[in-house]
């Protein structure tokens, strides 16, 4: 079931919220938890009821192992629990890819199995691995099976995150002031949900109409020319941004409707000034998981290994080439390799992850160089900020081409077009002024399929993401995401209207926006959120 589908907007959400209101008034907290858990299982099973037992079985298994780890934290039990989760994820998500890779490398012809990927398995697997590790380390809140079940299955975050931690959600479930209606939560949650729905159905899906045909041509091997390649890459970049931003707003908004504050997962990542900053803003809870459970433990293990071999620990602000390679390069590349593979079973996702690993290594080296010279990690001048934001965006854009492409050759086709290697397509009126391009073997063809509206939308979207406050900044006076205080956007001090204040006029405008977005959403088959396929 999709947040932007007619069945969700017109049936599931009103029915579940009405039941929540009735139980909050006439029932008990236990019944409210049962109601939300059952609703979440129905939400999950709408796609394929056959996978509901898989989700329930995974939750019961991990709850049992977690309780055992709380009672007696044994590493062998932890590793067996992690292995079971990774094995389940590996079977469903990577078996076919592994067989294809084996056939390609060794020239065999083993049959590639076609295994349907259960919805959200990547998300609830990582969430429960974090629970097991936190249970072993004594960092979980004691919970019942029902509380744990609601923590795992809570439908606003079940399908595409955020990847929550036990203590973030269970503390709220246990709080007597939560899981009951509060009209400030309802107003803020509904506002966030409407903003996210608008981003998805009006903005993201519009950009998809421009990006999909070109990426489809690239997958078929047709050379993609310069303007079309850049148009498709930028359109997909905007589609991905507003799709994930919209989903994140809708998830947090839905959580607030039912009294649960979810962690922030998206914070204007295209404003990032380097790749470290980018991953602190993009899919924040995934970054948190990878950092806490892969990058940091790997770095600590390598550091201990080096210490046993007599290598000194690096001094603050200074690091030898060997220490940098061991403590930064290896953990960065390995962690982002895991990130790429988590996103999808395909070589293009591995390239996506390794590219970001390379970017992180370069960023760490740059920061080390600046620290060695007594400079701050990033330039504080306006030209320096603008240049760093633009460079970071271009690096991300290249990686996103691999993220979107059907395979590596299709991605290279798009990137070749962006570099002008497949010919440069320009308007006929400009061809006479750019004759120098023939020196590079560029072909100047008619711009028959160029859509001027596409350029306007791209420029407008970039201007919006680089200048306007995001939804949480817009609602900064009210509680939204858990443990997050949105900073003031630079424009909000100059334009007070960019800070949300509840009023009758604001409600009318929001209602009109919601009505228009719903009309668009139900007028055609709903487009799936990009992260739903992971």
Which residues are identified as catalytic? 343
Other beta carbons within 10 angstroms of residue 483's beta carbon come to 8
343 close to 534: Cβ distance less than 8 angstroms: yes
**DSSP-assigned beta bridge partners for residue 444:** 424
Tell me how far apart the alpha carbons of residues 230 and 320 are, in angstroms, rounded to a whole number: 40
Question: Is residue 326 within 8 Å of residue 364, measured between CB atoms?
Answer: no
Helices 52-71/145-153 angle, 10° precision: 130
Check whether the bond before 475 is cis (ω within 30° of 0): no
State CA 229 to chain mean position distance: 24
Q: Answer yes or no: are the C-beta atoms of 355 and 322 closer than 8 Å.
A: no
Beta bridge partners of 263: 482
The residues near 458 (Cβ < 8 Å, ≥ 6 apart) are 231, 234, 235, 238
- DSSP assignment of 476-520: TTS--SBT--PPPPTTTTT-GGGS----HHHHHHHHHHHHHHHHH
Q: How many Å apart are CA 35 and CA 372, to the nearest integer?
A: 57
């Amino acid at each position: 079931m999709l947040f932007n589908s007619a069945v969700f907007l017109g049936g599931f959400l009103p029915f579940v919220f009405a039941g929540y209101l009735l139980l909050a008034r006439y029932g008990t907290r236990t019944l409210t938890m049962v109601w939300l858990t059952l609703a979440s299982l129905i939400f999950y099973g709408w796609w394929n009821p056959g996978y509901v037992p898989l989700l329930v079985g995974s939750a019961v298994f991990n709850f049992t192992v977690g309780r055992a780890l709380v009672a007696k934290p044994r590493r062998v039990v932890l590793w067996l629990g992690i292995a079971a989760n990774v094995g389940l994820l590996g079977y469903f998500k990577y078996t076919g890819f592994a067989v294809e890779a084996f056939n390609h490398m060794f020239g065999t012809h083993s049959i590639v199995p076609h295994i349907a990927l259960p919805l959200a398995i990547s998300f609830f697997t990582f969430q429960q691995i974090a629970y097991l590790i936190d249970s072993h380390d004594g960092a979980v809140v004691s919970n019942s099976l029902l509380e744990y079940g609601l923590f795992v299955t809570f439908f606003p975050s079940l399908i595409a995150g955020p990847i929550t931690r036990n203590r973030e959600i269970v503390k709220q479930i246990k709080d007597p002031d939560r899981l009951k209606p509060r009209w400030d939560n309802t107003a803020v949650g509904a506002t966030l949900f409407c903003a996210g729905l608008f981003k998805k159905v009006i903005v993201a899906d519009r950009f998809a109409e421009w990006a999909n045909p070109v990426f489809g041509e690239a997958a078929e091997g047709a050379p993609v020319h310069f303007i079309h390649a850049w148009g498709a890459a930028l359109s997909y970049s905007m589609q991905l941004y507003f799709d994930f931003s919209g989903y994140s707003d809708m998830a947090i908004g839905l959580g607030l409707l039912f009294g649960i504050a979810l962690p922030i997962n998206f914070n204007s990542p295209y404003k990032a000034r380097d790749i470290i900053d980018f991953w602190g803003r993009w899919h924040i809870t995934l970054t948190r998981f990878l950092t806490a459970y892969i990058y940091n433990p790997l770095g600590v293990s390598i550091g201990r290994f080096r210490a046993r071999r007599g290598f000194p620990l690096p001094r603050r602000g200074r690091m030898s080439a060997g220490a940098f390679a061991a403590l930064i390069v290896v953990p960065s590349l390995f962690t982002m390799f895991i990130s790429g593979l988590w996103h999808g079973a395909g070589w293009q996702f591995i390239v996506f992850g390794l590219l970001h690993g390379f970017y992180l290594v370069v960023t760490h080296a740059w920061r080390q160089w600046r620290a060695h010279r007594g400079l701050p990690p990033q330039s504080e001048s306006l030209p320096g900020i603008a240049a760093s934001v633009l460079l970071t965006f271009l690096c991300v854009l290249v990686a996103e081409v691999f993220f979107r492409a059907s395979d590596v050759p299709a991605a290279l086709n798009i990137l070749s077009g962006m570099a002008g290697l497949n010919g440069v397509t320009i308007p006929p009126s400009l061809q006479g002024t750019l004759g120098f391009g023939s020196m590079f073997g560029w072909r100047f063809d008619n711009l028959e399929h160029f859509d001027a509206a596409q350029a306007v939308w791209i420029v407008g979207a970039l201007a919006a993401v680089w200048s306007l406050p995001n939804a949480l900044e817009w609602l900064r006076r009210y509680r939204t995401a858990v443990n997050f205080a949105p900073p003031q956007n630079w424009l909000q001090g100059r334009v007070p209207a960019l800070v949300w204040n509840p009023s009758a006029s604001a409600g009318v405008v929001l209602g009109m926006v919601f009505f228009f977005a719903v009309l668009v959403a139900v007028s055609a088959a709903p487009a799936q959120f990009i992260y739903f396929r992971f």
